[in-house]
Amino acid sequence: MLQDRSGVLLVNIGTPEAPTKAAIKKYLKQFLSDQRIIDMPRWLWWPILHLIILPARSRRLVKLYTSIWMNEGSPLIVYSQRQCYELSKKLNIPVELGMSYGNPSLKSALDILIRKKKVNRLIILPLFPQFSCATAGAVWDGVHKVFSGYRRIPSVCFIRDYAQNPTYIAALKASVNDSFKRYGKPDLLVVSFHGIPQRFVNEGDDYPQRCYTTFKLLIKALGMNLNTAMLTFQSRFGYEPWLTPYTQSILKMLPNKGIKNVHVISPGFSADCLETLEEINIQNREVFFHAGGTHFEYIRALNVDEAHIKMMKEIVTPFF
């Protein structure tokens, strides 16, 4: 009888390899070519992508990525690699990191786990706490694509999400309380999740329900209510309606309502990245202050917090 050899695949979205126009364009091309992300007909989307979006967006993003770049590389890859390393120290099985787009690729990670380390029981943990077809769904597609070239397929445990995991909620609670302790309690805690098109929800994606689940459990754990905490959605792309309320619009409006001291947390991001460090902590901070706000604190992602690594261990351990 073949002995089980378990392994863990951690997956995040991906990032450019350098804050340069060429590297950003390469990453965006792969990212925006996935129909899980942009599901327009190819004949319509391809000219828009290659003639308009890629040249303009890659040029604009150089400055933004440069503003957050770490000595070791993109924050997303730096923190994700550290998460992989720390989790591997706590487990007695192989752990590899793959990205849906860019490097290290899903194929490179799976080749190591299955072909090199002979794993025949694979636990896949997408690092997206709230399921969406555009994130965890894309991971599923990517793994299936790699498997299509394999002769030997392992048994697979796919962890859909962990929006209500008690250890995850406890880690978020500790992070928020630490911010309150350091900087004082704000007038409002803004809980900002990445948005998706409203059309995806209309077609069956349960992402907003998963976000609301996390939000409700978090504010309950904190002893807060809807008068002191608010859920919003960020990172809108394109012109069709996305989930509302929009984070930036809310932050622009709050000072006129007398709410001038806010803390902002983005629980949907397992590692800090462009959307948190630049969009929230730079762009949205400026919007809030320009509108009359006086105090703004961004509560960092869980990154490599001990509680975060403990959560990952607790999630994957029952499956091997």
Which residues neighbour 193 within 8 Å (Cβ) at sequence distance 6 or greater? 130, 211, 215, 231, 232, 233, 234, 243, 266, 267, 268
Identify the pLDDT of residue 2.
59
Query: Residue 153 pLDDT more than 70?
Result: yes
Identify the pLDDT of residue 238.
87
Task: Write down the pTM of the prediction.
Answer: 0.96
DSSP label of 256: G
Identify the pLDDT of residue 3.
75
pLDDT band at 150 (very low <50, low <70, confident <90, very high): very high
Q: How far is CA 280 from the centre of its chain?
A: 14
Cα-based angle 261, 264, 267 (whole degrees, multiple of 5) = 160
Return the HEC string of 208-230: HHHHHHHHHHHHHHHCCCCCCEE
Query: Residue 1 pLDDT more than 80?
Result: no
Which residues neighbour 318 within 8 Å (Cβ) at sequence distance 6 or greater? none
CB 218 within 8 A of CB 267: yes
Identify the pLDDT of residue 93.
96
pLDDT one-digit tens code per residue, 54-65? 999 999 999 999
- Six-digit token string for 21: 């126009």
DSSP label of 72: T
Residue ranges of the annotated binding site are 194, 275
In order of start, what are the domains of the chain with their CATH numbers?
Answer: 6-160 (3.40.50.1400), 166-299 (3.40.50.1400)
Among the residues of the chain, which ranges form H helices?
21-32, 42-48, 54-68, 75-90, 106-110, 136-147, 166-183, 198-202, 207-222, 247-253, 285-290, 306-316
% of the chain beyond a pLDDT of 70: 99
Identify the pLDDT of residue 204.
98
For 283-296, what is the mean pLDDT?
98
Neighbours of 166 (CB within 10 A): 12
pLDDT one-digit tens code per residue, 238-281? 889 999 999 999 999 999 999 999 999 999 999 999 999 999 99
CA atoms within 13 A on the CB side of 173: 17
DSSP label of 24: H
Residue ranges of the annotated binding site for Fe(2+) are 194, 275
pLDDT one-digit tens code per residue, 192-243? 999 999 999 999 999 999 999 999 999 999 999 999 999 999 999 988 999 9
Identify the pLDDT of residue 4.
84
Mean predicted lDDT score pLDDT of the chain: 97
Query: Residue 13 pLDDT more than 60?
Result: yes
Residues in the chain, total: 320
Identify the pLDDT of residue 192.
98
CA atoms within 13 A on the CB side of 219: 17
